[in-house]
């Protein structure tokens, strides 16, 4: 690329395009309390819905009596499965090819399951009536452990007990959902059998929950005059919701308008379709009035969208000097009562087979068994691209365990096994083609930034001091080098309920040179209104401040698959850039006409086309836009609009190096994060300020998960962590300041080289925190201890290692 | 249930109403008065999304009855921006990227305002402690703390200039 002139640099700066830390346009509204979230929507005559939920984890529903509830003033209806059955809506399909009860049909399978839906004039009346619905339950044996489920005679899913095959192939037990494999098993077994060193470990990634600050909710409004159904809701994929709503209800798709208003955080919680959405829609159709349903926090934590719950049994083999030769993993995946995982259809375990991570491993094999238990359904990608967090945690723990087995430094073990920069595009043993990477450069930069050698010396001294009785605090150095796989995905193998996972952008340039662009995605805090305008500013030469970005209204936005799995930038971002280029291509013809030269004789110049060799002869985009509307240009249609639907040729593979330095108090189990360094390589950087913000937030969610956050059940299937009293969300007090850093390795197949960053910090953060805890105790013999590492569990590690003696 | 006569002054404007004794202040604000800046995130006073300023104290409106607030002066996020534009806290949250999804922001800013009234010159540690009743799931707090520290500095400079 030619060096820019001073004039060009000045003009480019005015655009606030890609690479600038443009301030967010969203904030003027949000800081004044002028956001418009679903619970802020108020319509004339609106009713309020609330659920009767099961107190039992497994029980037969013998009868439901709504008589007393109906007497509560303001109560309009109480819906049960019997009311939904004639509409065939008492069950609904899940994203994973299973089906799920909308309202309890004969039995309940998890605590908090939806049993009846009360519709009333306001939320107080609805809550009163919920208390008065009488449900007669007969308790059944409860299974909360997936290993027990596979041995138990107790049939959880009676509706499919005789089916020997499910959406993903054969079932080998009545509580078994699927077996899914990838890789070469024989070659992997052979590599492990003949290896000089083998490390084996069970790595458990516990059940947790995305818990966005805004819970899930909807307002459904059926207009009986026009026949049009409008549904506002916390939808990370509004267009798919419209298609599903049409298929389920029989209402033609053009008569359904789905709107995602402002969303108060999603993190995967708002991808799925929940019974509340269906019940509100049905209630609106039945009553002819708008119906609002908003979860409370307990509903949210108990019933919608858990994440993880993967038991990962691993074997990793290496030569005695540390070159990895094979990786084997068998996962027992607890899916709860219904398989409602949010994964592309053909991937029942998501992209778990990215579990060879950043390493050049010649032979690998994974097998995942999905299992039903009496827990809430879900298995969503909590700030994660479909089981990638599980995969990254698995491999980064296995590397640490192998380092112990080899008595080797874990940083060095990683370095000698990294995929080298000259190996990209790299074919992994589990079938992925990694697009680009330079792991050694990132790793060296990270180790140098934290003075890794100095830290190890300090740690050695600390261990000596501890043994000499001079301190009760140990020092842990948590290392992680993660490779993500995001941007789902190519339509040839990625779909959600049959809809290919492309995305889209439609741009209209107005006559005076400002613009509106609409996308198939929906921001939940990721600053799309700010950053997508930056892509367009650079591509079209229209200042970002003159571009409005709109998403989330299916009546106006082009069809897209939504925002999750870090796919907005890799997929919709690409569509945006390409739509911008279509605008520019037409603008070039207009400019050439206005300048009275051939199309090929003008060239792009930041915000204008100028005549080659005569830069003083030019037409700015503003002038071109006006001409598009006020001149008859031979051979060209009037107007300046473009639309692009982008089917990505491959996923993108962001990566990063995270290092956590943690002090651990052996006697209290308390921890203190002394330093956290996060280097991310997300390819081309669109807005560094927003990227840093994503990293801060993602690492904080990782801290929560690794250090205390879980959805825990007792043996009766009672949720023990159903409120924010018990479910750990860190406050400003527990959270450290993070140091962010970056390298830039653009994606070769993406129009602007961007890879996506939203999920990287959660994917990389969890193993960094967990490895720090493990590393603190490595010298005393700790190999593996399950998360979350709350104070009690850390105290227990120390106790089990005899450090309290 | 018999209703109570309740009088509130919210952002300088008086409101009178009849409400059940069990009505929560957050519902009064959001559903009766259409003041939807304060949000509901947990109903157990852990998250702070519903924080309002009540008679000069930060309170969580999800666990206060409207009846308890009878006669009170209440300030919500809607009462911050003036004819001259954004309040300095609003401006600094924007400048330092102290928000993402925006759901916690009204409560955060309302709490930060009271914190700076109580302690105009806080250390970072004091800000972190003073804000610990307000949860954010997006930002990791780093830029929230930065925003509040920057606002404190600017408010102090403005005060010195005025003296």
Secondary structure, 3-state, A215-250: CCEEEEEEECCCCEEEEEECCCCHHHHHHHHHHHHC
> Is residue A182 flagged as an active site residue?
no
Give me A419's structure tokens. Answer: 């995929």
> Are the beta carbons of A518 and A800 closer than 8 angstroms?
no
From A22, A207, A383, A397, the catalytic residue: A383
User: Rounded CA gap, A480 and A414, in Å?
Assistant: 9
From A211, A329, A341, A384, the catalytic residue: A384
Q: Please count the residue pairs, one from chain A and one from chain B, whose beta carbons lie less than 8 angstroms apart.
A: 174
From A430, A392, A434, select the one nearest A658 (Cα to Cα).
A392
From B16, B14, B40, B15, select the one nearest B26 (Cα to Cα).
B40
What is the model's pLDDT at position A1?
52
How far does the CA of residue B135 sit from the closest CA of chain A (Å)? Answer: 6
Contacts of B31 in chain A (CB under 8 A): 42, 122
Model confidence at A805, pLDDT cuts 50, 70, 90, reads confident
Sketch the domain layout of chain A as residue ranges. 6-35+503-646, 45-140+215-263+270-303, 393-485+651-800
From A654, A518, A661, A506, select the one nearest A580 (Cα to Cα).
A506
What does residue A468 show for φ and ψ, rounded to 5 degrees? -85, 0
From A606, A588, A586, A585, select the one nearest A537 (Cα to Cα).
A606
Length of chain B: 163
* Mean pLDDT across A351-359: 98
Which residue among B23, B95, B137 sits closest to A212, beta carbon to beta carbon?
B137
Interface test with A, best of B92, B137, B143, B145 (most A CBs within 10 A): B137
The residue to which tokens 């925006």 are assigned: B102
User: Rounded CA gap, A377 and A338, in Å?
Assistant: 5
Interface test with B, best of A21, A25, A27 (most B CBs within 10 A): A27
User: Rounded CA gap, A498 and A516, in Å?
Assistant: 30
Which residue among B37, B42, B109 sits closest to A724, beta carbon to beta carbon?
B42
Which residue among B22, B35, B140 sits closest to A697, beta carbon to beta carbon?
B140
What is the model's pLDDT at position B163?
86
Taking only the tens place, the pLDDT of each residue in B102-135 is 999 999 999 999 999 999 999 999 999 999 999 9
> Is residue A68 flagged as an active site residue?
no
**Sign of the Cα pseudo-torsion (A379, A385, A391, A395, in order):** negative
> Could you tell me which residues come within 8 angstroms of residue A221 by beta carbon, excluding any fewer than 6 positions away?
A43, A229, A230, A231, A284, A289, A290, A291
Residue A334 pLDDT exceeds 60: yes
CA A498 to chain centre: 20
Q: What is the mean pLDDT of chain A?
A: 97
Q: What is the DSSP letter of A652?
A: B
Task: To the nearest 10°, report the CA torsion of A266, A269, A270, A272.
Answer: 160
Give me A125's structure tokens. Answer: 């009346």
From A383, A438, A414, select the one nearest A757 (Cα to Cα).
A383
> Is residue A384 flagged as an active site residue?
yes
Name the class of domain A45-140+215-263+270-303: alpha beta
> Are the beta carbons of A272 and A382 closer than 8 angstroms?
no
What is the model's pLDDT at position A2?
66
Q: What is the DSSP letter of A255?
A: G
Classify burial at A788, counting beta carbons within 10 Å of its beta carbon; exposed 0-12, middle 13-18, buried 19 or more. Answer: buried
User: Rounded CA gap, A693 and A730, in Å?
Assistant: 16
CA A621 to chain centre: 37
Taking only the tens place, the pLDDT of each residue in A36-53 is 999 999 999 999 999 999
User: Rounded CA gap, A689 and A531, in Å?
Assistant: 10
A410: left (phi over 0), alpha (psi -120 to 50) or beta: alpha
> Could you tell me which residues come within 8 angstroms of residue B89 by beta carbon, excluding any fewer than 6 positions away?
B80, B109, B112, B113, B116, B147, B148, B151
Residue A3 pLDDT exceeds 90: no
How far does the CA of residue A740 sit from the closest CA of chain B (Å)? Answer: 12
Give me A178's structure tokens. Answer: 């699927």
Nearest CA in chain A to B99: A27
Please confirm whether the linkage preceding A654 is cis (ω < 30° from 0).
Answer: no
> Are the beta carbons of A114 and A279 closer than 8 angstroms?
yes
Give me B23's structure tokens. Answer: 């009505």
Give me A625's structure tokens. Answer: 């836009």
> Could you tell me which residues come within 8 angstroms of residue A795 by beta carbon, excluding any fewer than 6 positions away?
A667, A668, A669
Residue B16 CB neighbours (<10 A): 8
The residue to which tokens 């666990």 are assigned: B63
From A551, A701, A710, A759, the catalytic residue: A759
> Are the beta carbons of A664 and A773 closer than 8 angstroms?
yes
* Mean pLDDT across A204-213: 98
Cα atoms found within 13 Å of the Cα of residue A437, Cβ hemisphere only: 30
* Mean pLDDT across A461-477: 98
Residue A488 pLDDT exceeds 90: yes
Residue A152 CB neighbours (<10 A): 16
DSSP for A331-361? EEEEEESS----S-TT-TTTTGGGTTTTB--
The residue to which tokens 């400003």 are assigned: A732
Residue A211 pLDDT exceeds 60: yes
Contacts of A127 in chain B (CB under 8 A): none
Give me A26's structure tokens. Answer: 């969203």
DSSP for A102-162? SS-SSEE-STT-EEEEEEESSHHHHHHHHHH-EEEEEE------HHHHTT-S--S-GGGTT
What does residue A412 show for φ and ψ, rounded to 5 degrees? -70, -40
Contacts of A524 in chain B (CB under 8 A): 101
User: Rounded CA gap, A476 and A706, in Å?
Assistant: 14
Classify burial at A803, counting beta carbons within 10 Å of its beta carbon; exposed 0-12, middle 13-18, buried 19 or more. Answer: middle
Give me A531's structure tokens. Answer: 């950053």
How far does the CA of residue A222 sit from the closest CA of chain B (Å)? Answer: 22
**Sign of the Cα pseudo-torsion (A551, A498, A258, A557, in order):** positive
Contacts of B34 in chain A (CB under 8 A): 42
The yes-or-no answer to whether A6-35+503-646 and A393-485+651-800 have a common fold is: yes
CA A614 to chain centre: 50
Query: What's the CA angle centered on A72, arms A68 and A76, to 5 degrees?
Result: 100
User: What fold does the segment set A6-35+503-646 form as a domain?
Assistant: Aldehyde Oxidoreductase; domain 4 (3.30.365)
From A495, A729, A575, A214, select the one nearest B102 (Cα to Cα).
A214
Interface test with B, best of A732, A739, A769 (most B CBs within 10 A): A732
In chain A, the largest separation of any two C-alpha atoms, in whole Å, equals: 90
> Is residue A759 flagged as an active site residue?
yes
A320 in helix, strand or coil? coil
CATH number for the domain running over A393-485+651-800: 3.30.365.10
Instruction: Give percent of chain A with pLDDT exceeding 70.
Output: 100
DSSP for A274-296? -HHHHHHHHHHHHHSS-EEEE--
A538 in helix, strand or coil? helix
Domains and CATH numbers, chain B: 4-79 (3.10.20.30), 88-162 (1.10.150.120)
**Residue contact B140–A42, C-beta within 8 A:** no
Nearest CA in chain B to A722: B42
Residue A368 pLDDT exceeds 70: yes
DSSP for A434-502? E----HHHHHHHHHHHTTHHHHHHHHHHHHHHHHTTS-SEEEEEEEEEEE--BS---TTT-EETTEE--
Residue A784 CB neighbours (<10 A): 16
Contacts of A697 in chain B (CB under 8 A): 100, 137-140
Contacts of B76 in chain A (CB under 8 A): 33
């Amino acid at each position: 690329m030619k060096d820019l002139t001073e004039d060009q640099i000045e003009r480019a700066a005015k655009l606030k395009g890609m690479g600038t830390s443009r301030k967010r346009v969203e904030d003027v509204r949000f800081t004044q309390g002028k956001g418009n979230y679903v619970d802020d929507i108020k319509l004339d005559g609106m009713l309020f819905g609330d659920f009767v939920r099961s107190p039992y984890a497994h029980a037969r529903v013998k009868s439901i009596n709504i008589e007393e509830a109906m007497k509560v003033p303001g109560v309009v209806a109480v819906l049960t499965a019997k009311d939904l059955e004639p509409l065939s809506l008492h069950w609904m399909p899940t994203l994973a090819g299973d089906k799920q009860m909308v309202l309890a049909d004969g039995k309940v399978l998890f605590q908090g399951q939806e049993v009846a839906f009360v519709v009333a004039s306001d939320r107080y009346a609805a809550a009163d009536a919920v208390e008065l619905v009488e449900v007669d339950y007969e308790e059944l044996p409860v299974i909360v452990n997936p290993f027990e489920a596979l041995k138990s005679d107790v049939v959880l899913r009676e509706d499919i007990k005789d089916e020997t095959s499910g959406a993903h192939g054969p079932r080998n037990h009545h509580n078994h959902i699927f077996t899914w494999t990838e890789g070469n098993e024989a070659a992997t077994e052979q590599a492990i059998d003949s290896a000089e060193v083998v490390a084996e470990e069970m790595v458990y990634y516990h059940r947790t929950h995305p818990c966005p600050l805004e819970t899930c909710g909807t307002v459904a409004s059926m207009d009986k005059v026009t026949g049009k159904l409008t549904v506002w809701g916390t939808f990370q994929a509004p267009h798919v919701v419209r298609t599903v709503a049409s298929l389920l209800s029989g209402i033609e798709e053009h008569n359904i308008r789905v709107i995602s208003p402002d969303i108060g955080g999603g993190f995967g919680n708002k991808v799925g379709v929940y019974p509340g959405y269906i019940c509100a829609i049905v209630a609106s159709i039945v009553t002819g009035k708008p119906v609002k349903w908003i979860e409370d926090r307990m509903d949210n934590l108990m019933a919608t969208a858990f994440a993880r719950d993967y038991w990962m049994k691993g074997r990793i083999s290496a030569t005695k000097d540390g070159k990895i030769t094979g990786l084997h993993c068998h996962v027992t995946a607890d899916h709860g009562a219904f398989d409602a995982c949010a994964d592309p259809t053909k991937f029942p375990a998501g992209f778990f087979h990215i579990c060879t991570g950043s390493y050049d491993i010649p032979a690998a094999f994974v097998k995942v068994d999905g299992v039903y238990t009496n827990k809430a359904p879900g298995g969503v990608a909590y700030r994660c691209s479909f089981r990638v967090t599980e995969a990254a945690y698995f491999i980064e723990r296995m590397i640490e365990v192998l380092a112990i087995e080899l008595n080797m430094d874990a940083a060095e073990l990683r370095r000698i096994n990294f995929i080298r920069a000259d190996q990209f595009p790299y074919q992994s043993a589990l079938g992925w083609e990694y697009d680009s990477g330079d792991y050694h450069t990132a790793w060296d930069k990270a180790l140098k930034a934290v003075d890794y050698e100095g830290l190890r010396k300090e740690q050695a001294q600390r261990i000596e001091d501890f043994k000499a009785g001079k301190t009760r605090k140990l020092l842990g150095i948590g290392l992680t080098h993660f490779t993500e796989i995001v941007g789902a995905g190519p339509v040839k193998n990625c779909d959600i309920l049959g809809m290919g996972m492309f995305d889209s952008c439609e741009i209209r340039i107005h006559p005076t040179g400002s613009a509106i662009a609409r996308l198939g995605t929906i921001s939940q805090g990721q600053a799309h209104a700010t950053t997508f305008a930056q892509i367009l500013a650079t591509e079209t030469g229209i200042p970002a401040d003159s571009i409005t970005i709109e998403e989330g209204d299916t009546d106006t936005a082009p069809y897209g698959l939504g925002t999750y799995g870090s796919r907005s930038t890799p997929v919709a971002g690409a569509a945006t850039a390409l739509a911008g280029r279509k605008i520019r291509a037409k603008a070039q013809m207009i400019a050439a006409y206005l300048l009275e030269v051939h199309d090929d004789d003008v060239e792009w110049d930041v915000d204008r086309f100028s005549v080659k060799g005569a830069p003083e002869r030019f037409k700015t985009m503003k002038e071109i836009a006006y001409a598009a509307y006020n001149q008859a240009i031979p051979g060209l249609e009037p107007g300046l609009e473009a639309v692009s639907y982008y089917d990505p040729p491959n996923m993108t593979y962001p990566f990063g190096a995270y290092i956590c330095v943690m002090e651990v108090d052996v006697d209290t189990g308390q921890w203190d994060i002394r330093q956290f360094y996060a280097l991310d390589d997300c390819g081309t950087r669109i807005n560094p300020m927003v990227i840093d913000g994503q990293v801060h937030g993602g690492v904080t969610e990782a801290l929560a998960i690794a250090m205390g956050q879980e959805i825990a059940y007792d043996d009766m299937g009672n949720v023990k962590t159903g409120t924010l009293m018990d479910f750990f969300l860190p406050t400003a007090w527990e959270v450290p300041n993070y140091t962010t850093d970056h390298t830039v390795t653009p994606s070769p197949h993406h129009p602007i080289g961007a890879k996506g960053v939203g999920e990287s910090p959660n994917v990389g953060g969890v193993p960094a925190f967990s490895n720090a805890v493990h590393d603190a105790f490595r010298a005393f013999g700790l190999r593996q201890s399950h998360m979350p590492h709350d104070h009690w569990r850390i105290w227990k590690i120390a106790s089990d290692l005899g450090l309290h003696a | 249930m018999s209703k109570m006569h309740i009088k509130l002054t919210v952002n300088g404007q008086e409101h009178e109403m009849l409400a059940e004794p069990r009505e929560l202040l957050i519902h009064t604000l959001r559903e009766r008065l259409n003041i939807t800046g304060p949000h509901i995130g947990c109903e157990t006073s852990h998250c702070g999304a519903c924080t309002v300023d009540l008679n000069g104290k930060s309170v969580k409106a999800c666990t206060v009855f409207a009846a308890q607030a009878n006669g009170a002066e209440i300030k919500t996020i809607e009462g911050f921006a003036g004819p001259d534009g954004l309040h300095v806290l609003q401006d600094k949250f924007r400048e330092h990227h102290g928000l993402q999804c925006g759901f916690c922001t009204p409560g955060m800013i309302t709490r930060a305002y009271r914190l700076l009234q109580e302690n105009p010159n806080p250390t970072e540690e004091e800000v972190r402690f003073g804000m610990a009743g307000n949860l954010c799931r997006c930002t990791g707090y780093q830029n929230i703390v930065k925003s509040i520290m920057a606002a404190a500095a600017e408010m102090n400079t403005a005060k010195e200039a005025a003296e």
